Amino acid sequence: MKIERSSGILLHVTSLPGRYGIGDLGEESRWFVDCLAEAKQKLWCVLPLGPTGPENSPYQSRSAFAGNPLLISPQELVHHGYLSRKDLLSPPLFSDSRVQFTAVRRYRQSLLEKAFEQFSENKDYLAFERKNRLWLQRFALFLALCEANGDVPWNRFDPAIKPKAERIRYHKFVQYEFFRQWHALREHCQRRSISIMGDVPFYVEHDGADVWSHPELFDLDKDGEPRTVGGVPPDYFSKDGQLWGNPTYRWDKMEEQGYQWWIDRFRAVLQLVDFLRLDHFRGFEAFWSVRADQSTARNGHWEKGSGARLFETVRKKLGGLPFIAENLGIITPEVEDLRRQFGLLGMAVLQFAFDDNGIHRPNNYVRELVTFTGTHDNDTTRGWWNALRRVARSRPRSADFAKLNCVKAYLQNDGREIHWSFIQAILTSVAEIAVVPLQDVLGLGSEARMNLPGRAKGNWRWRFEEKQLTPKLLKRLADLTEVSGR
């Protein structure tokens, strides 16, 4: 994979500003792309785009192929003739800084149902249906069955209940509109020379179309319940580990089928983005398996994954591997050997640089790397710094106190605008790609954190307001980017 020296901003679509409760694929997304270009950025890094489960996590998707209906722009529905301007005159009074998912979902669904009333199949829709026939019919049928069965999990569906054909058609329309809007946005990115770095979760949601369609590929019991679920052992983020609850894969069955599900999945997502970050890359080499009856991830064990066999097959079928390996956490030599075997860039996170043996410090970087000040799982840099300073002051003989002094010495900064010191450190490093969460450009604290791993509820809600991203900030980032050769 050939990637030129560049930098970009990490911001999920849901965090964009706008009147309708959640960021979407409308005019604010195009405005943000224009801001990226003005700041001389070349990448927009987004989180997974699939339809989310009950806790709204992009990493708990109900389909590996479908798009999230919440990202469909109401304004674009008006522009395309599905809605009138009057339909958008009185939206609910949504928060500008937090996504209120329940209210947003109710409002957006009402608009989509109304838009569907004006929909008629045309040449573009029929072409979309043909192109996506591998997953579209099954996904729409799955959602229609969920509705007809009162939203019980798929393994409790009543086989006597048949969904209405019109509901299947509705869910196909929603997907058609999502992909129509996304491709229009991507064309705008291409006009502004902005590439998109996407993200693929390692697992999928149990109560989702993929597990329902292909139960043989997942570790389920005779009733369709997970026997084992995925997660990670105790780590930086959680003393009990992280118990994700997704069913683990039957890699033996996947290999028997020539890894076709993964090939189809990668092919589909690469039609939406330019590069893919493989979340939890180490799971391909070995994954943490936990019995489904456990309440934490502590009592799991490592099991071997597909290893090189999957990537050899994918490379043969797709002709290349435009992937970035998320190789954070407990990484073994075998995981790094797998990454290097296929020439995948790894990751470094500057917030980790003062906790480990130095591999996340810029002086130890190599070119084949994507470096972040922090990721969606980290606190913001300012929030991280303030928390470290509070603990260090209360315990002057602690490791945290020593870490605080290490940060000050390394960055030659006593804490003033610590976020810009972090941004400068990664942009001026040798790493091929440098990525900054928008929260760090804005200098926000922990109130703007996107996700707290191990916390089940209340994540993924942060949004920013358009007035926060000022011309002065964009110029400051542009100047630093230019002198850094990115």
Active site residues: 279, 326, 377
Order of strands across the sheet that contains 228-232: 242-247, 228-232, 286-291, 301-304
Site of tokens 């099991």: 303
H or E segment at 172?
helix 165-191
Q: Tell how far CA 372 is from the center of its chain.
A: 15
DSSP string, 306-363: -THHHHHHHHHHHS---EEE---SS--HHHHHHHHHTT-BEEEEGGGTTTSSSTTSGG
Q: Nearest CA to 42 among 1, 3, 2?
A: 3
Helices and strands, counts by H and E, the chain:
17, 12
The answer to whether residues 42 and 192 touch, using CB atoms and an 8 Å cutoff, is: no
CA distances from 290 to 82, 177, 226, 229, 335 (A): 47, 38, 10, 5, 20
| Contact of 244 with 230, CB cutoff 8 Å | yes
Whether 217 and 250 have beta carbons less than 8 Å apart is answered as yes
Cβ-based neighbour number of residue 109 at 10 Å: 13
Query: What distance in Å separates the CA atoms of residue 195 and residue 197, rounded to the nearest whole number?
Result: 7
Structure tokens that stand for 160 in this block: 């006597």
Q: HSE-up of 402 (CA within 13 Å, CB side)? A: 5
Q: How far is CA 225 from CA 161, 294, 485, in A?
A: 21, 14, 52
